[in-house]
A and B are shown apart, each in its own frame.
Chain A
């Protein structure tokens, strides 16, 4: 599965990248919302994992862009504790799942698995 990951914390981004590659996925990484929106058109991912608070464009804008595309792409959002309102807004925009920081990369891996095998 081709996964686009947008996260502004470099080490968290690298961790997610390494974890998903270990699971056999193709991973495209971006460190801000603007690059993520650009990459959406270029790489047409099968899944998007995006942080909410990012420079240049927020995760909500990324979700908006994903949901305006022809291809149906699921989105997992990464949110910090206490961002419940933003999470609700993200769901209203069409986000499919969310993970709250602090999070476990293993948990993220399992959630991604649900989208690669939607019937499990």
Chain B
């Protein structure tokens, strides 16, 4: 092939680019792109085949494991469990698949997943198998992975399969700079050691997000007296999110002894902490709560003041009426309405009861939301 292809770029006027490309070059370009497309298609084809094979292998493994794990789950004693392991079909599975990483990985996945659905002896049997086959070694190896998702999955596995020996390793990750890693590590240590596990709060510098706080609260049961004493140091933490979490703990377990310590948090520099302190006082209220709430009222921001005015409707006594009248006279809008409403509720105004006007209440809720 010979000759030249002339390309001219014209943009409303004179020719601005005049390129002459030899026809051979075009041919080479066509061959190059055709080759690239063939290579790409071949790669996609190989990738799809590999994935299909992997999925088929995965399904096959689940099929062969289901009998084995089923027998383990319904065993009623350690002798029964040992007998299951000695069965020829189980020995074949162990010899063939426990030496392959995928075989071990799928077994770990299945044990962890099914442990979530089973309780009692059945769940304990799965933990026994995980421990006996030393599958925790795989999870511990994954803890050293540079990939955060592998690390996080390993933590879930160790916590679900009650591997208390891994606590030391898990504690190291509770202050990880990667959110998911530290979140999983914190949940794992709490799952393994309950309230005691919260001692990571003494050392972490990373924030504990509100979602993370809820996840941790979800794992906890009521602390005993000595465990609860740790909350005092968390209330003094320089990490605002730890103070907020400590207040949530006091709320959840209604630790009435902490009332005065919570009251101190009303003067905290963080608005989030102050708001949580107001909410917590509601859960641990005593006869001094209304006075505590009104003491620093003027230093609070607008949102906090509204919360306090609302709470006074629940806990206020006749002693707070003069305070509410002052607020009502000095304020306008929603503050005025709320103060009046709270005062009306306190004195059980007959007019209020007869009309049942709760318009201020709904407006307040809208502002706070």
Binding site for B on A (CB under 8 A): 9-15, 17-19, 22, 101-107
Contact = CB atoms under 8 A, between A and B. Distances in A.
Contacts of A14: 66-67, 69-70
Contacts of A107: 120
Nearest to B114: A11
Interface residues on B, range: 20 to 34
Given A10-B66, A11-B110, A14-B69, A102 B117 contact: yes
Q: Chain B interface secondary structure, helix, strand, loop or mixed?
A: helix
B118 interface: yes
Given A102-B123, A104-B122, A105-B122, A12 B74 contact: no
A12 B70 CA distance: 7
Contacts of A104: 118-122
A101 B119 CA distance: 8
25 contacts: A9-B114, A10-B62, A10-B63, A11-B65, A11-B66, A11-B73, A11-B110, A12-B114, A12-B117, A12-B118, A14-B66, A14-B67, A14-B69, A15-B73, A15-B118, A17-B70, A19-B74, A22-B74, A101-B117, A104-B118, A104-B119, A104-B122, A105-B73, A105-B118, A106-B121
Contacts of B121: 104, 106
Q: Chain A interface secondary structure, helix, strand, loop or mixed?
A: helix
Nearest to B117: A101
A103 B114 CA distance: 10
Interface of B: 62-63, 65-67, 69-71, 73-74, 110, 113-114, 116-123
A15 B70 contact: yes
B75 to A, nearest CB: 10
A18 B71 contact: yes
B289 to A, nearest CB: 34
Given A9-B114, A10-B63, A15 B119 contact: no
A13 to B, nearest CB: 8
Contact of A11 (B70, B119, B120): B70
Nearest to B67: A14
Contacts of A15: 69-70, 73-74, 114, 118, 122
A9 B117 contact: yes
Contacts of A22: 74
B114 to A, nearest CB: 5
Contacts of B120: 104, 106-107
Nearest to B116: A102
Contacts of A9: 113-114, 117
A20 to B, nearest CB: 10
Nearest to A7: B117
A17 B71 CA distance: 10
Contacts of B66: 10-11, 13-14
B60 to A, nearest CB: 12
Contact of B62 (A11, A18, A19, A106): A11
A107 to B, nearest CB: 8
B344 to A, nearest CB: 38
Contacts of B67: 14
